[in-house]
Structure 1
Amino acid sequence: MAQRISYNHNIVKYSHGILQNVEDDVVMEFPLTIFVNDQEFATMVCTPTHFDEMVIGFLASEGVIRFNRDIKSMKIDENKGIAYVELFAEITTSQEYFSKRFIGSCCGKSRQFYFHNDARTAKTSSSTTTLTPVQCIDLMNKMQNNSLVFKETGGVHNAALCSPTELVASRTDIGRHNALDKLYGYSLMNRLPVRDKVIVFSGRISSEVLLKAAKIGVGIVLSKSAPTDLAIKLAEDLNITAVGFIRGSSFNIYSHHHRIVQP
């Protein structure tokens, strides 16, 4: 049985000098606990859609799996809020491995990651995909217009995996990381080549978001919002084009501007 995404809640709304009782759509928060090889691995608070994609994308992002075929079986019990994942191989689940700060280097540059698994799974992009300015703005508009849940509730993040001209997959979640994990899971489950794809995102490009994009394997990230300084540094190092503040007919290019070309 599919989970509800939002529900009606009675509120008091103030508008134009008047208080009135109305109904409002409120997005739902759902906790999903993931067990890997019978061990509790993580609990994710999410929007209850595309659980399978989110779990697979999360495990890949954490370096637990590399491909969908690494999973022997997966069962999601929506009533209990539990995902049971069995892998063909054992995993390392020690706290030290998944939370230890790590500093490494690549191609002669200093690269700093927060966690061990970031260093193992983040990819330096080799993408040769380019976009025109009009395509950047058009993809952002397409993603925004495609998000019915955001229009109804205003309480979710939107993310889309795109070709230069079309949305390939669009996902919504209360957690920006979850939305990206769903896209990652989608690409793995469908064996979708992503080097020529673009991620379009509604939220801020933080270092975590940039790393998620690197792990997925894209070379361009488009956002409606701003990047952080660490995200820009990582984008420079990982050869990813970060574009922010896509609003109306303008935007800012923060790294590797060669991928945004005038026709």
Structure 2
Amino acid sequence: MDETVKYDWEIIHFNESSPILQDETIASENPLTVMINGMEFATMVCSPSNVKELIIGFLASEGIIHTFREIASIDIDIKQGFAYVEVTRPIDMAQVDHSKRFIGSCCGKSRQFYFKSDVKTAKTVLNQLVVSVAQCYTLMEKLQQASIYFKETGGVHNAALCSVKEIISIQTDIGRHNTLDKIYGDILIREIPLRDKLIVFSGRISSEVLLKISKMGIGILVSKSAPTDLALKLANDLGITVIGFVRGRKMNVYTHPKRIYEAIKTKQDQLSP
């Protein structure tokens, strides 16, 4: 962890009408302004962990960079709230629609959409990885078991890059979108091949979450929460398998069941004479 991601806060806890004075663990939230080649690009609010991965993944998701090698230098001062990034290719900030925008940590309206950037970077996923239902259940269990800071604070999201058998990278943040940018950054830094990888996720599947998955080139998204209708429409168009409400031994497959082993087998059984 880069900085303190949690704090103890004295609270008055009520059990029925009986008050108890106790310490509660609270998730940390930090503003971070990203400067690119000396110019202000964006201010985001995030957890102060794996900030380098967050910035790199965010810039890749926004189409500013395509590989980690395009980062000449990156200097992060989390206490002052600034990250100074030098990129090797010229950036015309006047042509960047999302210059100087504020990106909130919440999951609502403070997060803006810039479809021009999405059109440039979103892509149809042709990945043919197949996963079983049991593997989806197991990976979700592993994500929840590894979600230490959620257990302590209840105030963060988690995302994991996984093979069908194990977690490769896990990231935590107060913003669900930030967890995916951190995953993307880690992928670029470590040059992780994605042909046999999927994402397991704690949060609601919005259209922006879905677009981030497509920009990584991941074909399967497994979440314990619900998708939106726009996310599912995009998933259909972009070839992404969306699995939601993975809780206990139950789950919903919303799009492209071709990547679910049991769905493939059922179809083959139905077609066999």
Equivalent in the alignment of 1:178: 178
Equivalent in the alignment of 1:90: 90
Give yes or no for the alignment of 1:222 onto 2:222: yes
Distance across 1 between alignment mates of 2:2 and 2:161: 24
SS at match of 2:12: strand
The answer to whether the 8 A contact 2:124-2:238 is kept is yes
Amino acid at match of 2:24: D
Distance across 2 between alignment mates of 1:229 and 1:79: 39
The answer to whether the 8 A contact 1:73-1:87 is kept is yes
**Displaced runs of 4 or more, over 4 A:** none
- Over aligned residue pairs, what C-alpha RMSD do you find? 1.6
SS at match of 1:97: coil
Amino acid at match of 1:161: L
Give yes or no for the alignment of 1:8 onto 2:8: yes
Residue 90 of structure 1: how far off its partner (Å): 1.3
- Gaps spanning 5+ residues in structure 2: where? 100-112, 266-273
Distance across 1 between alignment mates of 2:59 and 2:178: 11
SS at match of 1:236: helix
Residue 14 of structure 1: how far off its partner (Å): 1.3
SS at match of 1:4: coil
Distance across 2 between alignment mates of 1:156 and 1:31: 16
Amino acid at match of 1:68: F
Q: Aligned ranges for residues 49-68 of structure 1 at < 5 Å?
A: 49-68=49-68
Residue 78 of structure 1: how far off its partner (Å): 2.3
Q: Aligned ranges for residues 147-226 of structure 1 at < 5 Å?
A: 147-226=147-226
Residue 245 of structure 1: how far off its partner (Å): 0.4
Distance across 1 between alignment mates of 2:95 and 2:25: 39
The answer to whether the 8 A contact 1:98-1:116 is kept is no
Once the two structures are superposed, residues 140-189 of structure 1 have per-residue CA deviations (whole angstroms, 9 ceiling, x without a partner) of 11001101100000000110000011000000000011100000000000
SS at match of 1:79: coil
SS at match of 2:261: coil
The answer to whether the 8 A contact 1:125-1:195 is kept is no
Distance across 1 between alignment mates of 2:194 and 2:123: 12
Equivalent in the alignment of 1:128: 128
Distance across 2 between alignment mates of 1:190 and 1:248: 32
Amino acid at match of 1:188: L
Amino acid at match of 2:124: T
- TM (norm. structure 2) is 0.88
Distance across 1 between alignment mates of 2:80 and 2:120: 33
Residue 2 of structure 1: how far off its partner (Å): 3.7
Aligned length, in residue pairs: 250
SS at match of 1:94: helix
Equivalent in the alignment of 1:116: 116
The answer to whether the 8 A contact 1:126-1:195 is kept is no
